[in-house]
A and B are shown apart, each in its own frame.
Chain A
Amino acid sequence: MSADTAQRAVQDFQAVFQRLRDQLHGVIVGHRNALDQILVAFFAGGHVLIEGVPGTGKTLIVRTLGEALNLSFNRIQFTVDLMPADITGTRMVMEENGRREFTFMPGPLFAHVLLADEINRSTPKTQSALLEAMAELQVTVAGTTYRLPPPFFVLATLNPIEMEGTYPLPEAQLDRFFFKVMLGYPDHADLQRIIGSTTGPALPTAAPVFAREEAAERIEALRALVREVLVAPHLEQYAAALVRATLPADSKLAPSQTTLLRPDEQINRYVSFGSSPRGGQALLLGAKVRALLDGRVNITYDDIDQVAIPALNHRLVLNFAAVADGIEPRSLIERVLHAARTLRH
């Protein structure tokens, strides 16, 4: 690929991203930063966990994104009695040509964009049904593996208020989400626009950015372009240092090696388990998307810092002392980022 061709590819990525952003902003009031994070995770090839109080637009965001992407979209409302087969699909006895056979009936998981609404309402058994699909883009039912059509994008929503009848997500499942996006309560101006635009005769909708037949192919090409963004070794070192700094000093998981950053005292006090290596992958891939949006083909320190909080805040397992002291993962990650400035050239 020549320099001109590659430059056009970068510009195309920027244009597509901006169009998607515009379509989402046309339907969703506010949440601009959250929407950008969701799009970054989408083009980085990851899945997103959206946490917010009821009525803040979590489901609307996912549905609107599906419409804008013009990809197949399915929604799963997680309930207490939801079974794994209800998600992945099951084999059913079907009669065809006078013969009865077990036929696999794909579940709602088989879609390009999947909305897992209130995922913490179902049992961990059902939640874990998503693990294989999210990590490997495949489902195994009755010993048979079925590939999921790319691109496969899971947006799960989380209601932080209700504790009764909910099941906290296992750390293994949490770790498979690329970003965790927090949706805050809208401010007064946004609230006024929300109630004004959603109570009229016509509801705003999003126009598709891609044609149906080419959407999947183009999105895959854009995702491949993101992975080709260049990373200098000192930035890989920086990302690794950030991930390593989230581990407490007495962690049994991490080998006893000298780290580039001094262990933070609050990390040691409040964190039981730090981020996994997937956190480092999320940092670099998210930084690559940020670089492309800025028209660059190489990442910088600032690109990594911009995606650090959504990439790491759901990977830190806090202890009871943190709950008692009201410590949020975001504050701990900000401390790590502040300390990591010493690593910058």
Chain B
Amino acid sequence: MPAITLGLAEVEERLRALRRRLNFVTAQHSAYLGTSLVLLAAALLIILGLRASASVFRIAAWSSTLVVIGAGAACVVHARRHWLDVRATAHLVDERGQLTDRLATLVDLRLRPRPSRLAPVLVAQTLALGPRWQAQRIAPRRIPRSALLVIASLLALGATTLVERHTSPPVSPAAASPSAALVAYSGPGSVRPSSAGGATTTDSTARQGGSQLRSDLRPGEDSGSGPSPKMDQGGPSDTAVGSTAPKDGSASLTGRLQQAIHHAFGAETPDTKDELASRSGTSSDAGRAQKDHDARPHSGTEMSGNASDTDHEKGRDRSPSGSGAAQREGGSGAPQNFEGSSPSAGEGSSPQGLMQPNAGNLAAGDGGSKRFKLTITSFIHAVEQRDTPPRGTGTRAGSAGPAESESGGGMALNDRQLTDDALRKAEIPPEYEDLVRRVFSSRTGQ
């Protein structure tokens, strides 16, 4: 029966095309669902990475991973379950095209040939009803609704850029002690950078410097020094400076992920903020810092040769005068070499040399440390005298705080320092608070 054979072949070909199209739609649905789930999980992780603590983020990261894997498996199972073979395609087309089981019967006739004089009629009727089961009618080419999920997920992911970054909690400047004042300082609102006198820094750069400080003070990474026991007691320890150093293998993965998120979005780590905020305003913390400071040899002066460490350093004018200033002090000894760095505000913010055990000799009562202390002193003084106009000229001998008085009745500022209001221009990052407080408080106690 050539006529029926031809007709059956045509029906078969159209059915195969429909099957491919329907299965493609199924695959599309599954892919869109899986993609939207992944994007939503990423958005959630970014938000939590920016807002939540490391522990919460760790839980959320692993939970999200499990959910995404489970959902991915469910999508595969769903696609597999809805994958159509020829018979199933025939049933579906019969239903959607209202063909009253004609296609299903034809498929069976093809698979189980049996004599029937009415088979040509069935083929003819099925082909005559062709418009009812056109591909565009049965499986129209259009963007599936599941694509909206992907778009929504992308929007959610993009909305993460609007998430408010963590900032250091504002600290009241009305503190009795300079240490308290120092501790109380935080945030960009406390002291405004001076419009005159050089480059200004931004919150982000300050935080980057803080980040640098945090990373530099990570245990085991300090050059030549192990973690100080005092550090472990709550001093500038890992947690104190907000280090997200992993405690175990799994945490390191999530910790790195969270750090990567913060790096990508330029945020400070929430642990840093939490830790520093918890220490602000407590005298016990100051006392502990005092002990820590006493225990540790201060360098404060080994202005790191890592000139590119922070943005504070960048833009700073590393004029030879700075170097000269760095070498100028040293009333009790030879001029100290700070490896090319000068204790200007930007360069001085590099913590590499601060609190270095092996730099203690350099720091003890020498001019370099005095020079550094001058910087801090001016910082403290500026905190105490907020809203006063920036210093433009003149020395500050006698007008500085205790630290300067310790240095023997005042130290003349160099030209750069005169024009460089460290406090006004640079925001001291929260990461520096503890260090600076300890440095300052140890001197005030003496």
B108, A6: Cβ atoms closer than 8 Å: no
B120, A298: Cβ atoms closer than 8 Å: no
Write the nearest CB–CB distance from A234 to chain B, whole angstroms.
Answer: 7
A3, B105: Cβ atoms closer than 8 Å: no
Q: Which of A101-109, A191-199, A225-233 contacts B (4 or more CB under 8 A)?
A: A225-233
Q: Does A68 contact B (CB under 8 A)?
A: no
Q: Does B124 contact A (CB under 8 A)?
A: yes
Q: Does A2 contact B (CB under 8 A)?
A: yes
Bound complex: CA A228 to CA B115 (Å): 8
Per-position 1/0 for A222-256, Cβ under 8 A of B: 00010011111111000000000000000000000
A300, B118: Cβ atoms closer than 8 Å: no
Q: Does B275 contact A (CB under 8 A)?
A: no
B3, A232: Cβ atoms closer than 8 Å: no
Write the nearest CB–CB distance from B161 to chain A, whole angstroms.
Answer: 49
Bound complex: CA A300 to CA B112 (Å): 18
B120, A233: Cβ atoms closer than 8 Å: no
In B73-130, the 8 Å CB interface with A consists of: 91, 94-95, 100-102, 104-105, 108-109, 112, 116-125
Q: Which residues of A lie under 8 Å from residue B121 when comparing CB positions?
A: 3, 6-7, 10, 297
Partner of B122, one of A2, A230, A233, A234: A230
Partner of A298, one of B101, B117, B124: B101
Q: Does A318 contact B (CB under 8 A)?
A: no
Measured CB to CB, the nearest residue on chain A to B123 is A3
Bound complex: CA A231 to CA B119 (Å): 11
Partner of A345, one of B91, B102, B109, B122: B91
In B108-156, the 8 Å CB interface with A consists of: 108-109, 112, 116-125
B122, A297: Cβ atoms closer than 8 Å: yes
Q: Does A9 contact B (CB under 8 A)?
A: yes
Q: Does A1 contact B (CB under 8 A)?
A: yes
A298, B100: Cβ atoms closer than 8 Å: yes
Measured CB to CB, the nearest residue on chain B to A6 is B121
Partner of A234, one of B104, B109, B124: B104
Bound complex: CA A230 to CA B112 (Å): 11
Q: Which residues of A lie under 8 Å from residue B3 when comparing CB positions?
A: 2-3
Measured CB to CB, the nearest residue on chain A to B102 is A298
B124, A1: Cβ atoms closer than 8 Å: no
A6, B117: Cβ atoms closer than 8 Å: yes
Bound complex: CA A225 to CA B119 (Å): 12
B120, A1: Cβ atoms closer than 8 Å: yes
In A7-34, the 8 Å CB interface with B consists of: 7, 9-10
A232, B120: Cβ atoms closer than 8 Å: no
Q: Does A299 contact B (CB under 8 A)?
A: yes
Write the nearest CB–CB distance from A14 to chain B, whole angstroms.
Answer: 13
Q: Does A296 contact B (CB under 8 A)?
A: yes
Q: Which residues of B lie under 8 Å from residue A3 when comparing CB positions?
A: 3-4, 120-121, 123-124
A228, B116: Cβ atoms closer than 8 Å: yes
Q: Given the known A-B contacts A2-B3, A345-B95, are A230 and B100 also in contact in the complex, defined by CB atoms under 8 Å?
A: no
A297, B125: Cβ atoms closer than 8 Å: yes
A232, B108: Cβ atoms closer than 8 Å: yes
Question: Which of B3, B91, B116 is most buried by chain A, counting CB atoms within 10 A of its CB?
Answer: B116
Interface size range of chain A in the complex: 20 to 34
Write the nearest CB–CB distance from A340 to chain B, whole angstroms.
Answer: 16
Q: Which residues of B lie under 8 Å from residue A235 when comparing CB positions?
A: 101
Q: Which residues of B lie under 8 Å from residue A6 when comparing CB positions?
A: 117-118, 120-121
Measured CB to CB, the nearest residue on chain B to A235 is B101
Q: Which residues of A lie under 8 Å from residue B105 when comparing CB positions?
A: 230-232, 298
Chain B contact residue count (CB 8 A cutoff)? 23
Question: Which of A6, A235, A297, A300 is most buried by chain B, counting CB atoms within 10 A of its CB?
Answer: A297
Bound complex: CA A255 to CA B94 (Å): 34
Write the nearest CB–CB distance from B133 to chain A, whole angstroms.
Answer: 15
Bound complex: CA A326 to CA B327 (Å): 116
Q: Which residues of B lie under 8 Å from residue A298 when comparing CB positions?
A: 100-102, 105, 122
Q: Which residues of A lie under 8 Å from residue B112 when comparing CB positions?
A: 233
Bound complex: CA A297 to CA B128 (Å): 14
In B224-244, the 8 Å CB interface with A consists of: none
Measured CB to CB, the nearest residue on chain A to B117 is A1
Write the nearest CB–CB distance from A285 to chain B, whole angstroms.
Answer: 15
Q: Given the known A-B contacts A3-B124, A345-B91, are A299 and B101 also in contact in the complex, defined by CB atoms under 8 Å?
A: yes
Write the nearest CB–CB distance from A312 to chain B, whole angstroms.
Answer: 22
Bound complex: CA A233 to CA B118 (Å): 17
Q: Which residues of B lie under 8 Å from residue A296 when comparing CB positions?
A: 100, 102, 125
Q: Which residues of B lie under 8 Å from residue A7 when comparing CB positions?
A: 121, 124
A228, B117: Cβ atoms closer than 8 Å: yes
Measured CB to CB, the nearest residue on chain B to A292 is B118
Q: Which residues of A lie under 8 Å from residue B124 when comparing CB positions?
A: 3, 7
Write the nearest CB–CB distance from B198 to chain A, whole angstroms.
Answer: 80
Bound complex: CA A296 to CA B117 (Å): 13
Bound complex: CA A301 to CA B105 (Å): 12
Bound complex: CA A228 to CA B114 (Å): 10
Q: Which residues of B lie under 8 Å from residue A297 when comparing CB positions?
A: 118-119, 121-122, 125
Bound complex: CA A229 to CA B91 (Å): 19
Bound complex: CA A231 to CA B102 (Å): 10
Question: Which of A232, A233, A301, A345 is most buried by chain B, counting CB atoms within 10 A of its CB?
Answer: A232
Bound complex: CA A300 to CA B105 (Å): 10
Q: Which residues of A lie under 8 Å from residue B122 when comparing CB positions?
A: 230, 297-298
Bound complex: CA A1 to CA B118 (Å): 8
Question: Which of B94, B104, B105 is most buried by chain A, counting CB atoms within 10 A of its CB?
Answer: B105
Q: Which residues of A lie under 8 Å from residue B117 when comparing CB positions?
A: 1, 5-6, 9, 225, 228
Q: Which residues of B lie under 8 Å from residue A233 when comparing CB positions?
A: 108, 112
A10, B120: Cβ atoms closer than 8 Å: no
Q: Which residues of B lie under 8 Å from residue A299 when comparing CB positions?
A: 101
In B1-31, the 8 Å CB interface with A consists of: 3-4
A228, B118: Cβ atoms closer than 8 Å: yes
Bound complex: CA A130 to CA B327 (Å): 131
B123, A300: Cβ atoms closer than 8 Å: no
Per-position 1/0 for A278-307, Cβ under 8 A of B: 000000000000000000111111000000
Measured CB to CB, the nearest residue on chain B to A8 is B121
B91, A230: Cβ atoms closer than 8 Å: no
Q: Which residues of B lie under 8 Å from residue A9 when comparing CB positions?
A: 117
Measured CB to CB, the nearest residue on chain B to A7 is B121
Partner of A230, one of B4, B94, B95, B119: B119
Bound complex: CA A230 to CA B237 (Å): 84
Per-position 1/0 for A26-66, Cβ under 8 A of B: 00000000000000000000000000000000000000000
Show 9 residue pairs from A and B whose CB-CB distance is below 8 angstroms, ordered by the A residue.
Answer: A1-B120, A3-B3, A6-B117, A6-B121, A228-B117, A230-B118, A232-B104, A297-B121, A345-B91
The 5 lowest CB-CB distance pairs between A and B, nearest first, are A3-B120, A297-B118, A1-B117, A298-B105, A345-B91
**A1-B117, A6-B118, A300-B100 known, 18 other contacts, Cβ within 8 Å:** A3-B124, A5-B117, A6-B117, A6-B120, A7-B121, A9-B117, A228-B116, A228-B118, A230-B122, A232-B101, A233-B108, A296-B100, A296-B125, A297-B118, A298-B100, A298-B101, A298-B122, A300-B101
CB within 8 Å of B: which residues of A?
1-3, 5-7, 9-10, 225, 228-235, 296-301, 345
